[in-house]
């Protein structure tokens, strides 16, 4: 009995060392890091989404505001929120890509809204709108930081998943490659959209004809 126990203990020890040598512990650590960084991305996207109704309501109070720009923000938010933002998105590349495309459209629509708002003095003088602008700017910055952290976490995880001999551990324990942001939008990821009123609009409104 004692001999059998010794054999079992030796086998268990050998298996543990084998897993450790093949990156099992690293998979555990990096997988948790990816999940944590993705949760923060979702948190910041939700924070931005929660700001939009107040921004829209404030802008609607401005007479003759460009309706097409406002409508695009409303539609982009509806599209983004129609996709369920869950931790499981990082395990479904197609759903991940769809979610990120919707968020990218919302980013563009909001950026355009803020640029157009520069042309309305009443909005620029509206303290409530100014407060919302500052909150949005801070949120966009936090989104950028969260996305960059996610990119780095996924890169480390995916390198481990594809490398030998840790790729064998990945196959045994179903550690699949996780999706990240595409090369095409990495420039947008590294620089948050401008929502500052400090500079004049890029294309000023044409002067009224006399």
The full DSSP string for 54-67 is HHHHHHHTSTT--H
Is the Cβ–Cβ distance between 78 and 103 less than 8 Å? no
Q: How many CB atoms lie within 10 A of CB 53?
A: 11
Is the Cβ–Cβ distance between 90 and 36 less than 8 Å? no
Across 85-183, where does the E strand assignment appear?
Answer: none
Is the Cβ–Cβ distance between 45 and 103 less than 8 Å? yes
Residues of the chain with pLDDT under 70: 1-22, 183-210
Global pTM reads 0.77
Residue extents of the structural domains in the chain: 34-148+182-190
Share the mean pLDDT of the chain.
Answer: 82
Across 42-122, where does the E strand assignment appear?
Answer: none
Q: What is the pLDDT of residue 15?
A: 47
Task: Give Cα separations from 173 to 25, 55, 68, 170, 176 (angstroms).
Answer: 12, 46, 50, 5, 9
Helices and strands: H and E segment counts in the chain? 8, 0
* Residue linked to tokens 């998105």: 89
DSSP classification of residue 120: -
In this structure, CATH architecture of domain 34-148+182-190:
Up-down Bundle (1.20)
Q: What is the pLDDT of residue 105?
A: 94
- Helix (H) or strand (E) segment spanning residue 33: helix 24-60
Q: What is the pLDDT of residue 137?
A: 96
Q: How far apart are CA 78 and CA 202, in angstroms?
A: 28
């Amino acid at each position: 009995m004692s001999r059998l126990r010794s054999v079992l203990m030796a086998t268990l020890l050998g298996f543990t060392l084998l897993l450790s040598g093949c990156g099992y512990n690293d998979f555990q650590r990096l997988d948790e890091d990816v999940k944590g960084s993705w949760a923060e991305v979702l948190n910041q996207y939700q924070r931005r989404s929660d700001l939009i109704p107040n921004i829209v309501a404030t802008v609607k109070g401005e007479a003759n505001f460009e309706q097409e720009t406002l409508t695009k923000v409303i539609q982009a938010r509806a599209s983004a929120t129609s996709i369920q933002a869950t931790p499981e998105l990082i395990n479904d590349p197609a759903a991940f890509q769809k979610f990120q495309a919707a968020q990218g459209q919302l980013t563009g629509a909001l950026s355009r809204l803020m640029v157009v708002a520069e042309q309305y003095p009443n909005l620029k003088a509206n303290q409530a709108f100014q407060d919302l602008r500052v909150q949005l700017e801070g949120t966009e910055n936090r989104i950028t930081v969260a996305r960059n952290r996610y990119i780095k976490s996924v890169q480390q995880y995916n390198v481990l998943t594809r490398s030998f001999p840790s790729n064998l551990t990945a196959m045994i324990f179903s550690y699949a490659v996780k999706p990240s942001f595409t090369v095409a939008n990495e420039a947008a990821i590294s620089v948050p959209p401008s929502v500052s009123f400090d500079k004049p609009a890029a294309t000023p409104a044409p002067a009224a004809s006399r």
